[in-house]
Structure 1
Amino acid sequence: MLEAFLTSTGVVALAEVGDKTQLLAILLAARYKKSTPIILGIFLATIVNHLFAAAVGQWLTALISPVTLKWILGIGFIAMAAWLLIPDKIDEDAPIKESLGIIGTTIVAFFIAEMGDKTQIATVALAAKYHAVVAVVVGSTLGMMIANVPAVLFGEIAVKKFSPKVVHAIAAVIFAIIGISVLLGMKIGL
Structure 2
Amino acid sequence: MNAFLTALFMVVVAEMGDKTQLLSMAFATRFNALSVLIGVFIATVLNHALAVVVGTYLAQVIPISVVQIAAALSFMFFGLWTLRGDKLEGEDRVNTRYGPVFTVAVAFFMAEMGDKTQLATVALAARYHSPVYVLIGTTLGMLIADGLGIVIGDYLSKRVSEGLIKIVSASIFILFGFITLYEAMGYSAVTIGVMALLAILMAVIIYVMKKERGLEKH
- The corresponding residue for 2:9 is 10
Q: What TM-score do the two structures reach when normalised by structure 1?
A: 0.61
Is the Cα–Cα contact under 8 Å of residues 52 and 125 in structure 2 kept in the other structure?
A: yes
Displacement of 1:58 in angstroms is: 9.2
Alignment-mate amino acid for residue 126 of structure 1: L
Look up the match of 1:28: 27
Give the gaps of 5 or more residues in structure 2.
59-71, 82-90, 157-218
* Structure 1 letter corresponding to 2:99: G
Structure 1 residue 23: deviation in Å?
1.1
Contact 1:58 1:131 in 2 (8 A): no
Query: What percentage of aligned pairs have identical amino acids?
Result: 47
Aligned match of 1:170: none
CA distance in 1, matches of 2:75, 2:140: 29
Matched residue of 1:116: which SS?
A: coil
What residue in structure 2 maps to residue 175 of structure 1? none
Contiguous gaps of at least 5 residues in structure 1: 61-89, 159-190
Q: Of the candidates 134, 138, 152, which is equivalent to residue 136 of structure 1?
A: 134
Alignment partner of 2:77 out of 95, 107, 112: 95
Kindly indicate whether the alpha-carbon contact (under 8 Å) linking 1:58 and 1:128 is maintained by their aligned counterparts in 2: no
Summarize the alignment of residues 162-181 of structure 1 with structure 2, pairs less than 5 Å apart. none
Q: What CA distance in whole angstroms lies between the structure 2 residues aligned with 1:107 and 1:146?
A: 16
Deviations, residues 54-103 of structure 1 (Å, cap 9, x unaligned): 1134989xxxxxxxxxxxxxxxxxxxxxxxxxxxxx99972137632110
1:124 maps to which of 119, 122, 125: 122
Aligned partners of 1:21 and 1:106: how far apart in 2? Answer: 11
Aligned to 2:113: 115
Letter in 2 for 1:5: F
For the pair shown, which has the larger CA radius of gyration, 1 or 2?
2
AA in 2 matched with 1:95? F
TM-score of the aligned structures, taking structure 2 as reference length: 0.53
Superposed CA deviations along residues 22-45 of structure 1, whole A, max 9, x for unmatched, are 11101101122x100000000010
Q: Partner letter of residue 3 of structure 2?
A: A
- Aligned partner of 2:51 among 26, 50, 53: 53
Cα deviations across residues 119-172 of structure 1 (Å, max 9, x unaligned)? 0000000000000110000000000011011110123989xxxxxxxxxxxxxx
- Structure holding more helix per residue: 2
CA offsets per residue over residues 1-56 of structure 1, 9 Å max, x none?
A: x0000000000011001111111101101122x10000000001000000010113
- Count of residues in correspondence between the two structures: 127
Cα 1:58–1:3 change in 2 (3 A) is farther
Q: RCO (CA 8 Å, sep 6+): is it higher in 1 or 2?
A: 1
Contact 2:112 2:118 in 1 (8 A): yes
Q: What is the rounded CA distance, in whole Å, between the counterparts of 1:29 and 1:145 in structure 2?
A: 14
**Alignment RMSD:** 2.8
